[in-house]
Amino acid sequence: MANDSPFGLGGSVYTQNRERGQRVAEKLECGTAFVNHVASSYASMPMGGVKKSGYGRELGELGIKEFVNQKLIRYFN
């Protein structure tokens, strides 16, 4: 039921059982999943959604590559 949505930016799981929270979070169809915490972002970690919640990632080393064009230049002798 949690995945029955056209959106998937972030999700939260609340439980007293840490292992169960991990299992449920792994099955959520969302860009970021939290266990016993509300959704938030961290500058060092990429953030983004799935489904109709956007394309690509922002923040972090992986995220910054979404905003730049990379060029390969090869030298031959």
pLDDT at residue 22, rounded to an integer: 93
pLDDT at residue 4, rounded to an integer: 92
Are 48 and 31 spatial neighbours (Cβ–Cβ below 8 Å)? yes
Answer whether residue 41 is part of any domain: yes
Highest averaged pLDDT of the listed ranges 4-8, 26-30, 41-45, 73-77: 26-30
35 is in which domain, residue-wise?
Answer: 7-67
Give 36-61 pLDDT, tens digit per residue: 988 777 667 677 778 887 766 776 67
Question: How many folded domains does the chain comprise?
Answer: 1
Strands 32-35 and 10-13, by their bridges, are parallel
Single pTM value for the model? 0.64
Answer whether residue 63 is part of any domain: yes
Report the candidate in 26, 24, 31, 21 with the shortest Cα–Cα distance to residue 55.
Answer: 31
Answer whether residue 77 is part of any domain: no
**pLDDT top residue among 46 and 33:** 33
Residue 10 pairs in a beta bridge with 32
What b/e sequence results for 40-49 when a residue is b if at least 16 CB atoms lie within 10 Å of its CB, and e otherwise? eeeeeebbbb
